[in-house]
């Protein structure tokens, strides 16, 4: 089984870390291919970044179809391009926010999301409502550490994220913590050990969900909305994305 994990930003150091976290939970016999697109933003921290990450992401889905990918994970907590990717892919496509919130719902009455910048909190709230978890999401908290500084020595990111997770337990009355950035994937086990509660990394959760759907022989329905996009011409910079 081949699961292709697409980090929609172009920072390969983060992509390699995401791939390592996915491989750590993947079943024996599952091959993980972790990639970044050939075009797009270095990090995704705004609606503008998110919108411009989608063409490169879809290009990687199309490439994955030629590579024989059985399923896909979109490794950005905004789940950019998820619906469009489902129109292109022959196998299931899972977003990390979607997977993490579903997993959290199995483990407690309510969860809080701890993310990077405050300006991204609205997107997390929107997704919680979109996925049906508005009544389960107790809070969305930001540690105010930019994505590209999560691994920088001296940023204090680990301490800041852990402190926000602890505050979510006390102030939000959350039972479960969802880490709101793929760049935090390697922190889940450490923070869970410190706080003694489930801390969910969406990369790991999405990898296992994609694996499970493939193993069950399930894929996105093409009966209606997620049927392949209709053929038409695209012009300008997007001419190569035309479905003909």
What is the per-residue pLDDT for 68?
A: 98
Residue linked to tokens 């490169």: 56
- Taking each helix axis from N to C end, the angle separating 12-25 and 202-215, rounded to the nearest 10 degrees, works out to 50
Backbone torsions φ then ψ of 141, nearest 5 degrees: -115, 145
pLDDT 10s digits, 123-141: 999 999 999 999 999 999 9
What is the per-residue pLDDT for 243?
A: 81
The ranges of the chain with pLDDT < 50 are none
Sheet holding 2-6, edge to edge: 31-35, 2-6, 71-74, 93-95
What is the per-residue pLDDT for 153?
A: 81
158 vs 119: CA distance, rounded Å: 20
What is the per-residue pLDDT for 155?
A: 80
What residues contact 129, with CB distance under 8 A and at least 6 apart?
none
How, if at all, do strands 71-74 and 111-115 pair?
Answer: unpaired
Residues forming CATH 3.40.50.12500 domain(s) in the chain: 2-95+204-241, 97-202
User: Average model confidence (pLDDT) for the chain?
Assistant: 96
What is the per-residue pLDDT for 244?
A: 66
Which fold is adopted by the domain 97-202?
Rossmann fold (3.40.50)
The closest of 174, 161, 164, 167 to 133, measured between CA atoms, is 174
Architecture of domain 2-95+204-241: 3-Layer(aba) Sandwich (3.40)
What residues contact 214, with CB distance under 8 A and at least 6 apart?
1, 3, 70, 71, 91, 92
Classify the C-alpha dihedral 97-100-102-105 as positive or negative.
Answer: negative
Cβ 6 vs Cβ 81: under 8 Å = no
pLDDT 10s digits, 8-53: 999 999 999 999 999 999 999 999 999 999 999 999 999 999 999 9
The 8-class DSSP code of residue 139 comes to E
Quickly list H helices, the chain: 12-25, 47-67, 82-88, 96-105, 121-130, 157-171, 188-195, 202-215
> Taking the CA of residue 108 as centre, how many other CA atoms within 13 Å lie in the half-sphere pointing to its CB?
20
């Amino acid at each position: 089984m081949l699961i292709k994990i697409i980090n929609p930003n172009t920072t390969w150091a983060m992509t390699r870390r995401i791939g390592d976290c996915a491989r750590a939970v993947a079943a024996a016999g599952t091959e993980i291919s972790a990639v970044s697109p050939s075009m797009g933003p270095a990090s995704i921290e705004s609606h503008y970044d998110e919108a411009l990450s989608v063409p490169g992401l879809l290009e990687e889905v199309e490439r994955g179809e030629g590579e024989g990918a059985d399923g896909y994970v979109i490794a950005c907590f905004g789940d950019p391009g998820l619906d469009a990717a489902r129109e292109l892919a022959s196998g299931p496509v899972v977003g990390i926010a979607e997977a993490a919130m579903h997993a959290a719902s199995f483990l407690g009455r309510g969860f809080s999301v701890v993310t990077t910048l405050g300006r991204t909190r609205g997107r997390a709230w929107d997704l919680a409502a979109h996925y049906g978890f508005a009544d389960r999401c107790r809070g969305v908290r930001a540690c105010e550490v930019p994505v590209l500084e999560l691994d920088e020595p001296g940023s204090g990111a680990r301490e800041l994220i852990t402190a926000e997770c602890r505050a979510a337990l006390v102030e939000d009355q959350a039972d479960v913590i969802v880490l709101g950035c793929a760049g935090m994937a390697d922190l889940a086990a450490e923070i869970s050990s410190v706080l003694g509660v489930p801390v969910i990394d969406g990369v790991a959760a999405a990898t296992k969900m994609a694996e499970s759907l493939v193993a069950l022989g399930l894929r996105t329905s093409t009966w209606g909305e997620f049927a392949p996009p209709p053929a038409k011409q695209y012009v300008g910079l997007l001419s190569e994305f035309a479905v003909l």
